[in-house]
């Protein structure tokens, strides 16, 4: 009896396309060294509460729109964000600013805390390149100081001033929530993310709410090298899926570190996160990761604290994903070598 020759089985086109978009899973365990490549604060109170579209003809309106653009851009990327609170500080519009003699030292009146204690802050300005005046015209509002240099108008929020100019207010930024920026609806930039809105409402009476966006850099080591460098993972879809796994586990580690073992999440969210962590850890074969959390270019706001983490400008922690849970241990910072001691 003659049997027809069986045709070779071929993969369906849909499956071929799908496999091409998925990252190639590593076949060897990985260890990660995670650092902060970029960090930037945004003052969430300015966009909270379903705000109207800012008037870009006004310097403050342009400032707010730029901030929204930054957060909209972050929503298209795989990054981590922290909701941060700081004690309320405002400019005192009932008092006048003061200039130093023969200098660009500007003294700004402040109201600090819920009790609105009167303070002063002296900063030294630098003439920008596009200026046509040696000394700007200064306008104060509760949240902003506007500097009109003739050919250029600068708008600085109170948090810009406190962050970037030396002052005696050594106040750490308190982390109350950790999340991920990726969101096709960009709800964070529109003040429409429910969990962040709830936190804003809880703290708005006594504190300001800021969003700290963190771009994390991962150095993965294994017997086969870093999966992000493999040719198969260079496609946009595969690279995005790989980045998603990494941010999933990094954000889980920071959540556990700053929010503790029982973060304020509902049962459904916890169940989904547990499943995603199991899948990501299995896909990446992650043994452990070390996160060195330092904030570049954040000036006086480089110190972070929470109810579960003490204040520091550098947090060093080690994390393993076990059964869908992030197990985090704080590490001792490396000590500086004593000067003059021979090796």
Per residue in 93-123, pLDDT (tens digit) is: 999 999 998 889 999 999 999 899 999 999 9
Residue among 271, 267, 252 at smallest CA distance from 317:
252
Per domain, the residue ranges of the chain are 24-88+171-330
Q: Is the pLDDT of residue 338 over 60?
A: no
Q: pLDDT tier at 341 (50, 70, 90 boundaries)?
A: very low
β 286-294/30-43 pair status: parallel
> How big is the chain, counted in residues?
343
Q: Is the pLDDT of residue 168 over 90?
A: no
Q: pLDDT tier at 25 (50, 70, 90 boundaries)?
A: low
Residue among 181, 227, 203 at smallest CA distance from 88:
203
Q: pLDDT tier at 262 (50, 70, 90 boundaries)?
A: confident
pTM across the whole model? 0.89
The pLDDT score that the predictor gives to residue 22 is 60
Q: How far is CA 158 from CA 163, 234, 313, in A?
A: 9, 42, 21
Q: Are 332 and 281 in contact (CB under 8 A)?
A: no
């Amino acid at each position: 009896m003659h049997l027809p020759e069986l045709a070779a089985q071929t993969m369906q086109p849909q499956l071929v396309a799908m496999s091409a978009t998925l990252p190639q899973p590593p076949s060897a365990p990985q260890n990660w060294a995670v650092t902060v490549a970029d960090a930037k604060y945004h003052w969430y109170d300015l966009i909270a509460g379903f705000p109207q579209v800012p008037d870009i003809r006004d310097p403050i309106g342009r400032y707010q729109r730029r901030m929204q653009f930054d957060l909209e851009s972050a929503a298209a990327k795989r990054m981590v964000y922290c909701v941060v609170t700081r004690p309320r500080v405002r400019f005192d519009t009932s008092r006048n600013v003061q200039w130093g003699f023969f200098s660009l030292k500007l003294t700004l009146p402040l109201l600090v805390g819920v009790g609105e204690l009167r303070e002063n802050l002296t900063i030294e300005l630098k003439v920008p390149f596009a200026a046509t005046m040696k000394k700007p015209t200064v306008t104060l509002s509760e949240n902003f100081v506007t500097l009109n240099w003739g050919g250029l108008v600068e708008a600085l929020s109170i948090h810009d001033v406190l962050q970037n100019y030396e002052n005696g207010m050594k106040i750490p930024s308190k982390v109350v929530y950790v999340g991920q920026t990726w969101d096709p609806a960009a709800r964070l930039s529109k003040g429409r993310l429910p969990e962040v809105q709830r936190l804003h409402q809880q703290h708005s009476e006594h504190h300001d709410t800021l969003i700290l966006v963190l771009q994390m850099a991962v150095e993965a080591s294994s017997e086969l090298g870093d999966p992000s460098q493999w040719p198969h993972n260079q496609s946009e879809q595969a690279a995005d899926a790989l980045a998603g796994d990494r941010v999933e586990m990094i954000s889980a580690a920071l959540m556990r570190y700053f929010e503790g073992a029982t973060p304020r999440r509902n049962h459904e969210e916890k169940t989904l996160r547990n499943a995603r962590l199991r899948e990501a850890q299995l896909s990446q074969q992650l043994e452990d990761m070390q996160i060195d959390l330092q904030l570049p270019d954040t000036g006086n706001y480089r110190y972070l604290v929470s109810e579960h983490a003490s204040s520091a400008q550098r947090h060093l922690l080690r994390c393993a994903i076990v059964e869908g849970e992030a197990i985090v241990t704080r590490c001792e910072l490396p000590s500086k070598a004593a000067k003059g001691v021979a090796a």
